[in-house]
Structures are given as structure tokens and as C-alpha cells.
Amino acid sequence: MPARRSSRPFTLAPLLFSLTLGPLVLGVTACGGGSAAVQGKDGPATPEVLSVTVSGSEPRPVSPRFFGQNYWSWVKTWGDPVAKTLDAVRDMNLDVLRAGGANNETGAPEPFSFAEIDEFVAYAKAVGAAPLLQVSVINDHEGRPATPASAAAVVEYVNGTRGYGIELFSIGNEPDLYTEQGLAPSDYTPEHACATFAEYARAMRAVDPNIQLYGPELSWKYQPHNDWLTPFLRSCGDQVDVVAVHRYPFAADACTERAAYADAASFRRTIEQLRGILEATGHGDKPLAITEANITWDGEPAKTVHPASPGTFPAALWVADALGVGLEEQLHNLSFWSLSEGWTLGFFDGARPRPAAHVLRLFATRFGTEVLQVTGATAALSVYAGRHAPSAKTSLFLVNKSERPHDVTVELTELPRTAPVTLSVRPLSLTVAELPDDGGAPIVTTYDATMPAPQ
């Protein structure tokens, strides 16, 4: 089950090159198709042939809050590694930056003070992301036991005293783990979590009635056999503007390539299950967000030794599928944990992007504002399609999780561009193809684990 994402200071080592299949590259070309043979042990591998169709008949909007990250680690005692990522994150095109998590909740080793909030808001503004600020129900911004009054004081400080105009707030973090973490008594229930949430929500909205509240920020207990979300929403759903939970599908030792590459279908089922809970509790019209996500909750460096551990290229392909599924399933927000930290969950090693950071940037900067329907993709090769009408282009994201190259013919229907396109896709790679409406050559970006990182 998810635990704290950072528990002690750690000196970051150059894990990227030792844990991935090799250095990385982002190569950009303009091409009209064609097949490139990939050398295998016994000579060039014959590409798999695949045909997919992209339809513009029912485009759906991409949420303006979709692309997100978590602002961690800001702890000065641990070197404030997130501060080193500012320049790189400016170019990531994030929609939301969340300041939250277990350490913000407990105030250990340092409380998330007003001064830290100021730094967070400045960072979010610098990277162009809307700040999502977690208000603690355990220990407040001064490290004292939290109260509804201390939560209201945070809203008053940021939107009154400082005039930041923050719209997005959450209350508490992973209340389904409070008992296990020693933060609540053994008889703590979803109803207790709801009562606390409602009391804090009323106090915060009394200061600023225009804020939006995300919750309940459950760790994992929204499963059929262990469901906190249903009772919470039945009792407290009217207090929530955006239903938010977290998702970390694997234990550290289960981060295999096979598991990572098969998880897209599981993620889609999870979203469908969550939407079923929203419908059953009378809140089917509320947006759904995943405000913390990574391939595992456990980024302890000693455990980051598996083929798809955080920081590896297979984990980056997991991120690509998570983004594609989240876009197709109309999530309001998908925020990954985290930017840079002492554990290996950070998308940056200090200031250096790990593979997942490159993947997130490609999606956030090139997908577009609409999601298109794709048919014909396979479990081995996912295909996601977006459109940005102002730029007169359609973008394709092809995630090849097999060791075979693919020649993919893309048929386009009910779109300005009608001529089919053939794309060559390398094994174990992400290929992004931007198709101009005027019929010009696609701009193709290939990213795999054999080349250096982009400049």
C-alpha cells in the first residue's frame, strides 16, 4: 500500500544510466513514411504491419487542468531539490502543480510554512501552472495540530494577504492510511474523514467562496473489497468539487516490463470503476482526477533495481500509456509524483530529466486540445491521437511496447487531412507524428532507450 514518498535525506546518484537500457534520445525528422529495418541478433527484424484509423467525428476536449505534477521535494533540510528543476519545467507546459503529500500533511521534517507557500506559488507562476494547494488536517503551516481555523488562515493568507487568487485546494492527504501511519485511532472510518473534510471546507469557503476543493485524495482504498470512496461521497460528496484519488499500481519488486506494459488496460478499468462509484453515489457529473501517480509508491533507491523501476525507460513508456489512457477517458487531471526528490520517484534526478520527464513534456506540448478516436491499436502498440485546430495539425502518439519494429498505416477520417500516412515505429519506443492539415510531410519524433537525451 502507498507510503510516504520520502522519509530521509538521500544523495542522488546517477541512476538513470545504470537503470535504463542506455542513454536516451529525442530525434526529430520530417518524413512521409517508409520502413527502416532494425538490426536484430540474426539480422534486420521484419516490421509488424498494422493499420489504425483516426476519426475526427466526435472530438472531445482535453481538460485545461489535465497535465499535472507534484511540487516535491521542497524540504531545505534535504537540499530543496525541486528548486533545481525550474528552468526545465518551464518548458513542460504543465496545467497544474500540486503542493501536497504526506510530508506536507505531517510537517515532518519541516512544516509547509507561509514562506514555503510563497516559494511554491512563485514556482507555479514561473512554469505557467495553476497551483493546487493541500491544506493539512494533521499539522498546520506552523507545525502545530491543524484545525479548521488554521485551514481558513491559509486561505486568508494566500487569497487575502498575498492576493494570489488560488482557486484549487485539497483537504488532507490519503486519509485511508491515517490509522496505519499512526495519525488516527484504529476505529477511524470514511465517515470520520468526511466529517473532518466538511468542517474544513466550510471554514475555508467562509473566507473565499470561490475556491474549488479536491478530495478525498485516497491512497488506494477505492477497490471493491476495500472501498472508502463510496461512503465518503455518500456523506460528503456535496462538499467536493473534483473527486481526487491517487494511483500507484505496483510494489517496488513488481516493476517488471511485462507488468508496466500491460497496465494500460488495468488503468482504464480503474477509471471506469471510479466513475461507477461516482454515478452510484449521485455524483456522476463531477470531474475525476488522479492527483498522485507513479508506477510504484516505493522509490527507495535500494529497491529501484528492476527493469521498470522509476527512472527507467520502461517506466517512461508506462507514463506514456497512463497519459494516453487518461486523455481518452477524459480525466480532469493526472498529476505524477513527483518533480525531484531523494527517492527515485522524481521525474528529475536533481535538475536532469529522467525518461518520464521527456515523455510528459512531449504529451503536454504536442498533444493538442482535443482527443480523437483511434481504432485498430493493439496491446503491444498503443496509439493515441490529439488535435490542435489553431495550429492546423493532428498529432499521433505511438507507444511500442514490443521488441519488434512496426510499419503503421494511419487512415484519417472526418479530418481536414484525408490522405493516409505510413509511419515506421522502432521497438520499445515512443513515436510522435504531427500531421499538418495541408498534407505536408509529418514531423516525426522518435524517442527510445538507445540515444542521448534531447537538448
pLDDT at 54 over 90: yes
Dihedral Cα 141, 147, 152, 158, nearest 10 deg: 10
Strands 226-227 and 67-70: unpaired
pLDDT bucket at 11, cuts 50 / 70 / 90: very low
Whole-angstrom CA distances from 313 to 17, 25, 203, 451, 452 are 10, 11, 45, 11, 12
Instruction: Give 438's DSSP letter.
Output: T
pLDDT at 176 over 70: yes
In 3D space, the residue among 52, 35, 55, 29 whose CA is nearest the CA of residue 409 turns out to be 52
**Residue-averaged pLDDT of the chain:** 92
Provide the pLDDT for residue 229: 99
Provide the pLDDT for residue 10: 29
SS3 47: coil
Provide the pLDDT for residue 135: 99
Q: Provide the strand spans (E) within 76-218.
A: 96-99, 130-135, 168-171, 212-218
pLDDT at 16 over 90: no
Provide the pLDDT for residue 44: 64
In 3D space, the residue among 26, 72, 33, 65 whose CA is nearest the CA of residue 49 turns out to be 33
Report the C-alpha gap between 13 and 301 in whole angstroms: 9
pTM summary value: 0.92
In percent, how much of the chain has pLDDT > 70?
A: 89
Provide the pLDDT for residue 450: 85
pLDDT digits (tens, 9 = 90+) for 296-342: 999 999 999 999 999 999 999 999 999 999 999 999 999 999 999 99
pLDDT bucket at 27, cuts 50 / 70 / 90: very low
Report the C-alpha gap between 183 and 175 in whole angstroms: 9
Provide the pLDDT for residue 5: 43
In 3D space, the residue among 350, 432, 273, 334 whose CA is nearest the CA of residue 67 turns out to be 334
pLDDT at 444 over 60: yes
C-alpha cell at 206: 467562509
- Phi first, then psi: give them for residue 452, nearest 5 degrees: -75, 160
pLDDT bucket at 452, cuts 50 / 70 / 90: low
Residues 162-171 have a mean pLDDT of 99
330: left (phi over 0), alpha (psi -120 to 50) or beta: left
Helix pair angle (257-280, 313-328), 10° resolution = 30
pLDDT digits (tens, 9 = 90+) for 270-285: 999 999 999 999 999 9
Report the C-alpha gap between 292 and 299 in whole angstroms: 14
C-alpha cell at 172: 488532507
Domains of the chain: 48-57+372-448 (2.60.40.1180), 63-368 (3.20.20.80)
Q: Which residue has 480523437 as its cell numbers?
A: 372
pLDDT bucket at 40, cuts 50 / 70 / 90: very low
In 3D space, the residue among 443, 432, 368 whose CA is nearest the CA of residue 66 turns out to be 368
The angle formed by the CA atoms of residues 106, 84 and 307, to the nearest 5 degrees, is 80
In 3D space, the residue among 134, 141, 84, 149 whose CA is nearest the CA of residue 110 turns out to be 141
203: left (phi over 0), alpha (psi -120 to 50) or beta: alpha
Q: Provide the strand spans (E) within 206-351.
A: 212-218, 222-223, 226-227, 242-247, 288-293, 333-336, 348-349
Q: Which residue has 512521409 as its cell numbers?
A: 32
Q: Provide the strand spans (E) within 146-268.
A: 168-171, 212-218, 222-223, 226-227, 242-247
Q: Which residue has 517506466 as its cell numbers?
A: 315
Buried b (16+ CB within 10 A) or exposed e, 270-282: bbeebbebbeebe
